[in-house]
Amino acid sequence: MFTSINNQLMKLYRWFYKKISNKFHRLFVDLTTYSIAAYFALKKFYGFSATNYLKYIFTEDSGDFLASSALWIVAYAIFMKGILLVCDKFPGDRVRSLHASGLNHCCLRINDEIKEHLKYVETNPESAHTTFPEKHNFSANITIVAKYLHEHIVNSLEGAKSRDVFLSLYTSDATPGQSLAKLNYVLHEPIKRDVITSKIIDVNDSNYQYYECVKCIHDSKSTQILSNCDGYHRSNSKRNKKVKHYIGMKIIANDIVVGFLNIELYNTVFFTTEDEIIDYVEDQLLPYKYLLEYQFLKREFFNYINTKLV
């Protein structure tokens, strides 16, 4: 009950913060406070008074009404300026606006690999294709992407620690013309936490029917999201109560589900609604998913070169 009330309060706070921190409201508050500060400076040092000019434009009653309105506007602006200063220090959104530096490293590695491929083509064009799968180093590449993805999630969520984020990657046995039957464990991050008990997941086995990855595989959607994990099913049941959010994504290459990425967030409630998680996935995580899909596509492409084109 306490968790539910806390989530509702956080949701209300985030809504309030979003409303008052939009750029137009901030501009109004800043211009009003700066204008009144400039007016008092002119009045202090040069004896300037706006009333001397306003009395020639407005009647006495209108001038009194204008002065009273201006007083309330200035009071509101000063009050909201203080509220914004406090809210900016304690933002309701736990997601940080962060540059995904890990993407730079991953893209640089891709470029270096392509350079290596070109070098082999230049020196030995007839047999260079046989070196492509080896030089691609699929396992090392997806490990690097997963490592930087884990690092990015930790850095982009306010208050998150390495132990609060756990991700695991599975490959599938799906092939063209044959539907997916099993998911096979490949890796997890952080690597020092060896908590994977389901190395092979049979998506048609009733023992795994409550796994979120299996639900997503049987569904048409490409992403499975849980903002509340009270009913989350995990093979290691002792840790169920610590899982606060779940994000699962199909890894798709050439219209085939070639893998599945599980992301579990522990200990801290970072989001209050599924919409917040969806926004986070779209803004922060999709580039890493595409990088994983690229590695699967590249592996498949090189295998096609050796088996079908040569």
- What per-residue confidence (pLDDT) applies to 21? 83
The DSSP output letter for 25 is: H
- What per-residue confidence (pLDDT) applies to 166? 93
| 59, part of any domain | yes
Please, which residues have CB within 8 angstroms of residue 41's CB and are 6 or more apart in sequence?
Answer: none
Number of domains in the chain: 2
243 near 264, Cβ under 8 Å?
Answer: yes
- Cα torsion at 46, 49, 54, 60 (round to 10°)? -150
Closest CA to 223 of 231, 232, 212, 233: 212
Domain ends where: 28, 56, 89? 89
Beta bridge partners of 137: none
Domain ends where: 89, 120, 149? 89
Q: Is the pLDDT of residue 136 over 90?
A: no
Tokens 């921190």 found at: 21
Assign residue 237 the CATH number of its domain. 3.30.450.40
Count Cα neighbours of 302 within 13 Å in the Cβ-side half-sphere.
19
Q: Is the pLDDT of residue 289 over 90?
A: yes
- What per-residue confidence (pLDDT) applies to 173? 86
Lowest mean pLDDT among 43-47, 128-132, 145-149: 128-132
Tokens 């070098």 found at: 119
Residues 235 and 121 in one domain: yes
SS3 call for 145: helix
Domain ends where: 66, 89, 112? 89
Residues 79 and 218 in one domain: no
| 95, part of any domain | no
- Cα torsion at 3, 230, 196, 286 (round to 10°)? -80
Top mean pLDDT of 200-204, 241-245, 297-301 is at 200-204
Residues 116 and 181 in one domain: yes
Residues 40 and 181 in one domain: no
> In sequence order, what DSSP letters do the residues of 209-260 get, joined into one string?
TT-HHHHHHHSS-SEEEES--TT---SSGGGGGGEEEEEEEEEEETTEEEEE
Residues 118 and 211 in one domain: yes
Residues 121 and 143 in one domain: yes
Pick left, alpha or beta for residue 137 (phi over 0 → left; psi -120 to 50 → alpha; otherwise beta): left
pLDDT tens digits, 244-258: 899 999 999 888 899
SS3 call for 98: coil
In one-letter notation, the amino acid at residue 69 is S
Top mean pLDDT of 55-59, 126-130, 151-155, 304-308 is at 151-155
Confidence at 96, pLDDT banded by 50, 70, 90: low
- What per-residue confidence (pLDDT) applies to 88? 76
Please, which residues have CB within 8 angstroms of residue 248's CB and are 6 or more apart in sequence?
Answer: 212, 213, 216, 223, 224, 225, 260, 261, 262, 263
Q: How many residues does the chain have?
A: 310
This model's pTM is above 0.75: no
| 21, part of any domain | yes
Residues 260 and 119 in one domain: yes
Closest CA to 271 of 11, 5, 4: 11
Structural domain range at position 119: 101-309
Residues 176 and 238 in one domain: yes
| 27, part of any domain | yes
- What per-residue confidence (pLDDT) applies to 119? 73
- What per-residue confidence (pLDDT) applies to 133? 62
Residues 172 and 24 in one domain: no
Residues 182 and 299 in one domain: yes
Residues 29 and 124 in one domain: no
- What per-residue confidence (pLDDT) applies to 238? 54
- What per-residue confidence (pLDDT) applies to 202? 92
Tokens 């002792």 found at: 238
Residues 8 and 155 in one domain: no
How far from each other are the two terminal CA atoms of the chain, in whole angstroms?
65
SS3 call for 182: strand
Beta bridge partners of 185: 170
More confident residue, 101 or 288: 288
Closest CA to 9 of 269, 299, 237: 269
Confidence at 68, pLDDT banded by 50, 70, 90: confident
| 94, part of any domain | no
- What per-residue confidence (pLDDT) applies to 220? 86
